[in-house]
A and B are shown apart, each in its own frame.
Chain A
Amino acid sequence: NAGVTQTPKFRILKIGQSMTLQCTQDMNHNYMYWYRQDPGMGLKLIYYSVGAGITDKGEVPNGYNVSRSTTEDFPLRLELAAPSQTSVYFCASSYGTGKSNQPQHFGDGTRLSIL
């Protein structure tokens, strides 16, 4: 059971480039989330998904897109990288029952620098 797996671990992009951060989980969790963590700060929710085919915006969605075609995968896309998107990106998943919160499990993160 690998849990939540994120790739790549590190990436350097030039301004204006695009890339996809990959996230996959093997816990059969229906809920998945993307957060960004700027240096010395807390986590901000970018996008989330409550199931395959369903996505919604979080606190800081601008400049990002997501898709959820399967239960396991929740990729995050940056279309036109900007220096303000330099951050550590964490993917998380949880089991949602519709009745009560369940703990979110995090991946190891992707450290992204935009130069």
Chain B
Amino acid sequence: GENVEQHPSTLSVQEGDSAVIKCTYSDSASNYFPWYKQELGKRPQLIIDIRSNVGEKKDQRIAVTLNKTAKHFSLHITETQPEDSAVYFCAASKGGSSYKLIFGSGTRLLVRP
């Protein structure tokens, strides 16, 4: 079945610097890749997603890139702020009849003021 690996498990950056989180997936049929942000004790919240027919997508300070050949996708956060501190999860889905998401293990991002 599908497997999603996420790196790094923890990431500490200085406020204003950029942060990059990378994920690889195993099933070449996967075609939907969302990223979720989870603050401590809260629900996962979708921050950006990308479909396999697109190589890059941006939303203000957040961007996601997808390399289908290499089967990896990355989250880029620019000009990081303390409120960006959270756990970030990538996920992959190949659609079909269920749209099941397979999640990575998460990256704990700490933005130091």
Contacts and interface: CB of A to CB of B under 8 A. Distances in A.
Contacts of A62: none
B94 to A, nearest CB: 9
Interface stretch (A20-28, A65-73, A77-85, A100-108): A100-108
The prevalent SS among residues of B at the interface is loop
B99 A94 contact: yes
Contacts of B31: 101
Interface in A83-115: 90, 94, 96, 98, 100-109
A53 interface: no
A76 interface: no
Give the bracket for the number of chain A residues in contact with chain B: 20 to 34
B78 interface: no
Contacts of B89: 42-43
Contact of B99 (A35, A42, A101, A106): A101
Contact of B44 (A31, A43, A48, A98): A43
Contacts of A59: 1, 102
A106 B44 contact: yes
A108 B99 CA distance: 21
23 contacts: A31-B98, A33-B100, A35-B103, A41-B106, A42-B103, A42-B105, A42-B106, A43-B44, A43-B103, A45-B101, A56-B98, A59-B102, A96-B98, A100-B95, A101-B32, A101-B51, A101-B93, A101-B99, A102-B99, A103-B46, A104-B34, A106-B45, A109-B43
